[in-house]
Amino acid sequence: MKKIAHVFVVIPFFNEAETLLDTCHSLGFGIDKPPGDDISLVLVNNNSSDASEYIAAQFKERFNNQSIYIFNQPTQGIVPTRIAGNQHVREICYDRKIHESLALIIQADADTIYSQNYINSMRIGADQAGLNTLIEADTRYPDTFINEDFGFLKACLEIDQACEKYFCDEHIDLIVDDKAVAYRLKDYYMWGGHQVVFNDSGDELLAETTRLFMKAKTFGAIRLKTTAAFVIHSVRNIHTERELVFATAGYPREAGWVKEFYRNNDTLNFDQDNRGLIVDLRILHLLGLFTILPAHFLNANGLETEKNAVIVHAMEYLPKRNIHEIRDKKIHLLIEDVFGVLNEKKDEFLILVRDK
């Protein structure tokens, strides 16, 4: 397999005037020594109403850099904007005669800091892995957050460790961090690309790259995790939506669920130890994402996994799916199935894990 010929760092942005430049700088753009002629930055503006668009334009003009592209995406939402960014990369590759199998997409977020040599480390991982592989970097919290808000992380860790005995093996884990992955352009389109999907209530579903990876695995794709590259989480959501982030274990729930969460839990205060309900929700999300979902996915693909009490109980309620059904742009049904069962039978699952 030939090595990657060109890297495209694709960054969607919506009102990220305060962080956009720092993100670009951390990736090596706009500094004294640019990343290289075979590396491009693709910025996709999603109707920003702050100074983000101006900052991006000035950034490109200041460095007179032909490897910086700026596009606008009028359809609101992170998923349509990621789709648009990758489509623009495809058009650039066509114009510049870059084969899609040799073009690497690095997904990045406009509020995130990336480690030194991040691009090169992800590129090396892609070269080593070859086709049909998703590369994922390590993720870390800022040192200042760890020092100043250790109580939040400690509370998360205590629950996570208590649930870990039920988790499926790491090699069948399906959850992907959108801001920390890379893949070849050819693979992206073979896997079906990101999909804009709405649930029965009309809410758009997020976790688009987890859904992409699940679809990829139906084509035999693997994930390569690299510790040579890492991203530093933005903790903005923890500061502004502390209880929600804790309850969902960071998983991006749909708008209707979030609205219902706040309506039912408007008196919660994490910092005052009033955490009972959100502790239950975190346990349920962890079991759903890292135990039941992988087992449900394998079952839909005609495969078996080692069963524990949580999986056995979940299989009593989960609908039967098959690979043809989920490949037909319906991979999200597996996630919907899992959250549906947990919502209906939450007390049963909580009793099950607490009795062990």
- Interatomic CA distance for residues 81 and 315, integer angstroms: 36
- At 263, the pLDDT band (50, 70, 90 cuts) reads confident
Question: Are the C-beta atoms of 183 and 104 separated by less than 8 Å?
Answer: yes
Which residue in 127, 250, 105, 231 sits closest to 180, CA to CA? 231
- At 285, the pLDDT band (50, 70, 90 cuts) reads very high
Q: What one-character-per-residue DSSP string does 22-83 give?
A: HHHHHTTTTSSS-S-TTEEEEEEE-S--SSHHHHHHHHHHHHT-TTEEEEE--S-SHHHHHH
Beta-bridge partners for 40: 8
**Please, what sign has the CA dihedral across residues 241, 204, 55, 20?**
positive
Over the stretch 40-98, which tens digit does the pLDDT of each residue have?
A: 999 999 999 999 999 999 999 887 667 899 999 999 999 999 999 999 999 999 999 99
In the predicted model, what is the mean pLDDT of residues 172-200?
Answer: 96
Give CA angle at 348 (343, 351), nearest 5°: 125
Is residue 274 pLDDT above 60, yes or no?
no
Q: What does pLDDT average to over the chain?
A: 92
Q: Looking at residue 6, what is its pLDDT?
A: 98
Q: Looking at residue 30, what is its pLDDT?
A: 80
DSSP label at residue 320 = P
Which residue in 109, 114, 112 sits closest to 13, CA to CA? 109
Name residues whose C-beta falls within 8 Å of residue 174's C-beta, 6 or more positions apart in sequence: 210, 213, 214, 217, 289, 293, 294, 297
DSSP label at residue 291 = I
Q: Looking at residue 276, what is its pLDDT?
A: 76
The tokens describing 275, both together, are 């955490």
Burial class (CB in 10 A: 0-12, 13-18, 19+), 66: exposed
In the predicted model, what is the mean pLDDT of residues 332-346?
Answer: 96
- Interatomic CA distance for residues 350 and 10, integer angstroms: 41
Which residue in 323, 83, 335 sits closest to 196, CA to CA? 83
Is residue 355 pLDDT above 90, yes or no?
no
**Please, what sign has the CA dihedral across residues 289, 208, 39, 68?**
negative
- At 291, the pLDDT band (50, 70, 90 cuts) reads very high
| Radius of gyration for the chain, computed over Cα atoms and rounded to the nearest angstrom | 21
Q: Looking at residue 176, what is its pLDDT?
A: 97
Identity of the residue numbered 355: D
- At 35, the pLDDT band (50, 70, 90 cuts) reads confident
Question: Which domains can be identified in the chain, with CATH numbers?
Answer: 6-149+169-237 (3.90.550.10), 240-354 (no CATH)
Q: Looking at residue 149, what is its pLDDT?
A: 85
Q: Looking at residue 329, what is its pLDDT?
A: 76
- At 294, the pLDDT band (50, 70, 90 cuts) reads very high
Which residue in 79, 71, 81, 73 sits closest to 47, CA to CA? 73
Q: Looking at residue 9, what is its pLDDT?
A: 98
The tokens describing 49, both together, are 């109403």
- Interatomic CA distance for residues 333 and 220, integer angstroms: 20
Over the stretch 111-132, which tens digit does the pLDDT of each residue have?
A: 999 999 999 999 999 999 999 9
